[in-house]
Structure 1
Amino acid sequence: MARDYYEVLGVPRTADAAEIQQAFRTLARRHHPDVNKDPAAEERFKEINEAYGVLSDPDTRARYDRFGADFRQIPEDYDERVAAAQGFRGAGAYRGGPFQGGRGAGRGGARVWTEGDFDTAGFDFEDLFGGVFGDRAGRGSGPAPGADQEAELTLTVEEAYRGGRRKITLGGPGGERSYDVNIPAGVVDGQRIRLAGEGGRGRGQGAAGDLYLLVRIAPHSRYRLTGRDIHVDLPVTPWEAVLGATVPVTGPGGTAKVHVPPGTSTGRRLRLRGEGMPHPKGSAGDLYAEIQVMVPSSPSPRERELFGELAGASTFDPRKQA
């Protein structure tokens, strides 16, 4: 059984969005395969991404809290179907509520539904739950469409920027299945990619449902994303910061030149319009280069001499600038 997502992130079930995001960032940095060379780090990183993908989305989190680990198997119109079942006289009656009755509860109080929670006399479970309970639930007399399904697709910033074809393999009750996916250039975190007809099987001649891939962008050691905007640190020397310079800055789309104005301090952001994530139907995001003034950690004797001359000649005191 998959671990509880709250347990994976180390947060309580009452955690708010900020706490969940902070926990994800901390764990992602610690277990990112580019940083952590432990053979188990990659699997741990995937587990963290999956947990964050569910708990960071309010609707998905609500479904997880309600239905537990099997929340993806519960159809979107679950409540409507249950309401219809309750109002259907002579076809059996539903017993219990989302958090009461039945045969037990999942971790954290999330409800685990079983066939025995319903009075099945004359009632078609497959019609009500779209095949969630499989052949055990009985068979309807007419065709019915299959349920839509969802899975997560984790991409690097570079993969999301470039897009292109990618072969992915997903596991499921029927074993692993492979898909050739067309990833749009500039896809962003939280965007869904639809694979028509790759979801749950329909009943009879009913059409299959769709498979939706929920995109998750993995944390990057260099780039930080805000929507389609990309933020990157830009190291410069003290003399480049003081005198101004034109320096290269590298983004996922390649290297560009940026002008550092004279008198630039650490923390100043330089904007490169349109150099962020591409947008197939609109304007691309921007690339923001945040200045980081760096000093030599082991200056040569001549460098120390020159810095000493500067210290003696300058009247600049940054502590008196506020």
Structure 2
Amino acid sequence: MSVKFEDYYQVLGVQRDATAKEIQAAFRKLARKYHPDVNKEPEAEQNFKKINEAYEVLKDPEKREKYDQLGANWKSGQDFTAPPGWEGFNMHYDTGGGGQSFHFGGEGDFSDFFETLFGNQGRGFSNFSGQQRGSRGQSWSQKGQDRESELQITLEDAYFGTTKTVALQMSEEQPDGRLKNTRKEIQVKIPKGVKDGSKIRLKGQGGPGFNGGPSGDLYFKINIAPHPVYSLEGTDLKTNISLSPWEAILGGKVRVPTMEGSVQITIPVGTQNGQRFRLKGKGLAGKGDLYGVAQIKIPTNLSQEEIELVKKLDQFRKDTGKEQGGS
């Protein structure tokens, strides 16, 4: 029997070498666009059927491999006759793992092309929530879209942990099925020691589900704002230790600021500019460390007497063969 060829890759708008993730993303986007409970245009249901049929084939490695054996030279609408050996191919549907597709049940949901290749077995289909449906007219649910937003926090928030109140514009499904943007305040718990660039998940705070389906999740990507005293390197903190030339030369005790108050450390004799001093466990969440970096500051307001003393030191080192920079 001759039927019309269906280009499933074209239906979903993906390349033939598209990954499973790309295929799923394309399907979800189109499913939301043409879902009959959202799109009331006459052709929406037919388009919805087409993308479901395409996804049913391309999401399944076995069926996709079988379909790809037909070759890439076919075009949608061309007359097609199944080659020998295709009869009786057993099609099965995955209803576990939370479900990954949803369909209308009943006769006529798949094209003649589909049934020519795969047969008509397994007419009970799984929806996004994993519930089994098998007849037309039943309500189909779909999990809402996951969303992502950026949340800027202070270094103190990241170090000690806190709770933030965040106002967002959210889409909510109304009784008539339409989506309406509303302002919503949510509480976001910032765990102690959260890293810059990490994500916090708020279950069920994403896009609304369709027809009673669960809402998607909301992800906040953490952005730790620059700090006037510390710089952040992973879970480590870095701060500058300002030293005078004679403190660096003679050594001694200095205080270094930490997130929980200053502490005293010993500066060795002959400390060099840029030398690092590690304070273990003083970084984020007690996992990282704090590094104090010596910054030798040359005074600009020296008195004449101080200048003369520096000159004497310089001359002494020259006379004893200890040029500047030598031992």
Provide the TM-score with structure 1 as the length reference: 0.56
| Matching residue of 1:317 | 323
The worse-fitting range, judged by mean Cα deviation, of 142-151 and 162-171 is 162-171
Task: Kindly indicate whether residue 234 of structure 2 is the aligned counterpart of residue 227 of structure 1.
Answer: yes
Q: Is the 8 A contact 1:147 1:199 kept in 2?
A: yes
CA 257–141 in structure 1, closer or farther in 2 if over 3 Å, else same: same
Residue 310 (structure 2) aligns with: 307
| 1:123 paired residue among 22, 30, 47 | 47
State whether residues 191 and 214 of structure 1, in contact with CA within 8 Å, keep that contact through their aligned partners in structure 2: yes
Give the C-alpha shift of residue 269 in structure 1.
Answer: 0.7
> Could you tell me which amino acid in structure 2 is paired with residue 253 of structure 1?
E
Q: CA deviation at 1:154?
A: 0.8
RMSD: 3.4
Q: Which residue in the other structure is 2:191 paired with?
A: 184
Q: What is the deviation of 1:83?
A: 6.4
Q: Provide the secondary structure at the position in 2 that maps to 1:123.
A: helix
Q: Give CA-to-partner distance per residue, 1:40-65, whole Å, 9 cap, x none.
A: xxxxxxxxxxxxxxxxxxxxxxxxxx
CA change 1:262–1:320 in 2 (3 A) is: closer
Instruction: Provide the secondary structure at the position in 2 that maps to 1:312.
Output: helix
Q: Deviations over 1:55-77 (max 9, x none)?
A: xxxxxxxxxxxxxxxxxxxxx95
What corresponds to 1:208 in structure 2? Answer: 215
Describe the shift of the 1:81–1:190 C-alpha distance in structure 2 as closer, same or farther (beyond 3 A): closer
Change (3 A) 1:121 1:199: closer
**1:80 and 2:24 are equivalent in the alignment:** yes
Q: Which has the higher strand share?
A: 2
Deviation at 1:158, TM superposition (A): 2.0
1:184–1:82 Cα change, 3 Å: closer
Q: 1:240, CA displacement in angstroms?
A: 1.2
Rg bigger for which structure?
2
Residue 295 of structure 2: aligned partner: 292
81 and 237 in structure 1: CA distance in 2 versus 1, 3 angstrom threshold: closer
| Matched residue SS, 1:317 | coil
Offset, 1:81: 5.3
Would the aligned equivalents of 1:124 and 1:140 in 2 still touch at CA under 8 Å?
no
The 2-side partners of 1:306 and 1:254 are apart by 37
What's the secondary structure of 1:166's corresponding residue? strand
Determine if contact 2:240/2:294 at 8 Å carries over to the other structure. yes
| Contact kept? 1:193, 1:214, Cα under 8 Å | yes
Partner Cα distance (2:182, 2:144) in 1 = 18
Query: More helix by proportion, 1 or 2?
Result: 1
**2:65 corresponding residue in structure 1:** none
| Letter aligned with residue 186 of structure 2 | Y
The answer on whether the counterparts of 1:157 and 1:252 sit within 8 Å (CA) in structure 2 is no
Tell which deviates more after alignment, 252-261 or 221-230.
252-261
List gaps (5 residues or longer) in structure 2: 1-19, 56-99, 102-136, 172-180
Aligned residue among 161, 166, 169 for 2:167 = 169
Name the CA shift for 1:201/1:83 in 2 (closer, same or farther; >3 Å).
closer
Cα-to-partner distance string for 1:253-278 (whole Å, 9 max, x where unaligned): 32122221111110111111111111
SS in structure 1 of the partner of residue 208 of structure 2: coil
Q: In 2, distance between residues paired with 1:198 and 1:268?
A: 48
**CA distance in 1 between partners of 2:226 and 2:46 (Å):** 52
Paired AA for residue 211 in structure 2: G
For residue 141 of structure 2, give the secondary structure of its aligned residue in structure 1: coil
**Equivalent position amino acid for 2:305 in 1:** R
The count of residues paired between Structure 1 and Structure 2 equals 205
TM-score by length of 2: 0.55
Inter-partner Cα distance in structure 2 for 1:318 and 1:308: 12
Unaligned regions of 5+ residues in structure 1, if any?
1-75, 87-91, 93-114, 131-138
Identical pairs, percent: 33
* Cα offset, 1:320, TM superposition: 5.4
Which residue number corresponds to residue 205 of structure 2? 198
Q: Specify the alignment match of 2:263 in structure 1.
A: 256
Residues 185-226 of structure 1 deviation map (CA, whole Å, 9 limit, x = unaligned): 111111111112111111222211111110011223332111
Alpha-carbon distance in 1 for matches of 2:27, 2:153: 39
